[in-house]
Amino acid sequence: MLRFITRRVLVGVVTLIAISIIVFGLFFAVPSSPAKVMCGKNCDAASIAAVETRLGLRDPIAEQYTSFMKGIFVGRTYAEGTAFEQRCDAPCLGFSFRNNEAVTSILGRTVPVTISIVFGAAILWLLIGVSLGMISALRRGTLFDKVAIGISLTGASMQVFFFGLILLYVLVYTSGILPFPSYTPFTDNPAKWAQGLILPWITLGFLNSAIYARLSRAQMLETLSEDYVRTARAKGLPLRRVYTKHALRAAITPIVTIAGLDIGASLGGTFITETIFGLRGLGKETVEAVSFLNLPIVVATVLLAAVFIVVANLIVDVLYAVIDPRVRLS
């Protein structure tokens, strides 16, 4: 197990380095100058050159990349030797080109927002989706099954920006039943935290649960038709035990994979959800940074998103072994 985890972590690190190089390369392939965007008015060639020097954009790309990586581990000093010298302690991800705020502080503010949205929504979509799917499978052909399939089809066909806006219109703008979504740190006020995020949770939760319901139902039906389940039933094992001990465990394995990847990817930013509900999470920050050619934020957020995916994959692999004894980590 330890060897497996170590190997996967090493592969993950290599992946992250590769991604960071690609992001740097792509950024400089774009024919726009962040210095020009920042330079403001009365901008002339000398001002652009001054901004580029200050930001280190005049250094060779390889040097900029190594300075960036070095900053993560030992910190770095910008505009050294000038009146505007600025120290950035490790783990230094640089300063925003737009407002000179430390990228780590931006991430410290935006990551909890995205994590709060995703985990709340994930609990909902897994709870609703998997339960609906399982029960549908067990009550195949009944009214419950048909209604559940109908709901999941509706959910799967809808988009966040449509369902979210309808919820906002009905529950916030016209009836005032709920306040407009906002983010309050969980540690400050858990009730307000939940109240402010309930709409994005419902939106993401409902839409994603549809897919999970359909997946769970299909998996469960397939498992129920397996020989070993039939054998278990034939041997007189109570139905409850057959379903929970034998069928459910096998059926849930692929769902864990999908859930892990979904959660990992969502943690990288739920841009549309964040935008619709006015929550400044990682997704919104990233898209804005791309538009502003804000390299330090782009690199940091892309790397972080990659970290989430790598870690989610690792967790899924480990969970596999726990859920399904047939899977051995090697």
Residue 275 within binding range of other proteins, rule CB under 8 A: yes
Contacts 24+ apart (CB under 8 A), 173-180: 180/278
Q: How far is the CB of 308 from other proteins (least distance, A)?
A: 21
CA 212 – CA 321 distance, rounded (Å): 21
Site string for other proteins, 41-60 (x = CB under 8 A): xxxx-xx--x---x------
Q: How far is the CB of 127 from other proteins (least distance, A)?
A: 29
Query: Quick one: 176 or 325, whose CB is closer to other proteins?
Result: 176
Q: How far is the CB of 305 from other proteins (least distance, A)?
A: 18
Nearest-Å Rg of the Cα atoms of the chain is: 24
Binding-site size, other proteins (CB under 8 A): 44
- Cβ atoms 266, 73 nearer than 8 A: no
Stretch that binds other proteins, among 1-9, 82-90, 139-147, 304-312 (CB under 8 A): 82-90
Choose, by CB under 8 A, the member of 159, 278, 327, 328 that binds other proteins: 278
Residue 287 within binding range of other proteins, rule CB under 8 A: yes
Query: Quick one: 233 or 280, whose CB is closer to other proteins?
Result: 280
List residues bridging with 288 in a β-sheet.
none
Indicate the DSSP class of residue 180: P
Q: Which of 272, 304, 276, 277 is nearest to 287 (CA)?
A: 272
Burial class (CB within 10 angstroms; exposed 0-12, middle 13-18, buried 19+) of 131: middle
Q: How far is the CB of 29 from other proteins (least distance, A)?
A: 15
Q: How far is the CB of 100 from other proteins (least distance, A)?
A: 6
Choose, by CB under 8 A, the member of 17, 77, 87, 161 that binds other proteins: 161
Structure tokens at 277: 């509900």
Helix spans in the chain (H): 2-29, 34-39, 45-55, 61-74, 103-138, 143-157, 160-167, 190-224, 227-234, 239-241, 249-267, 271-276, 282-291, 295-323
Indicate the DSSP class of residue 173: I
Indicate the DSSP class of residue 247: I
Stretch that binds other proteins, among 9-17, 36-44, 186-194, 205-213 (CB under 8 A): 36-44
Residue 291 within binding range of other proteins, rule CB under 8 A: yes
Burial class (CB within 10 angstroms; exposed 0-12, middle 13-18, buried 19+) of 329: middle
Residue 195 within binding range of other proteins, rule CB under 8 A: no
Query: Quick one: 73 or 173, whose CB is closer to other proteins?
Result: 173
Backbone angles phi, psi at 78, to 5 degrees: -95, 155
Stretch that binds other proteins, among 66-74, 207-215, 270-278, 322-330 (CB under 8 A): 270-278
Residue 173 within binding range of other proteins, rule CB under 8 A: yes
Residue 28 within binding range of other proteins, rule CB under 8 A: no
CA 63 – CA 44 distance, rounded (Å): 26
Residue ranges in contact with other proteins by CB under 8 A: 32, 36-37, 39-44, 46-47, 50, 54, 82-84, 86, 98-101, 106, 109, 161, 168-169, 172-174, 176, 179-180, 272, 275-276, 278-280, 284-285, 287-288, 291-292
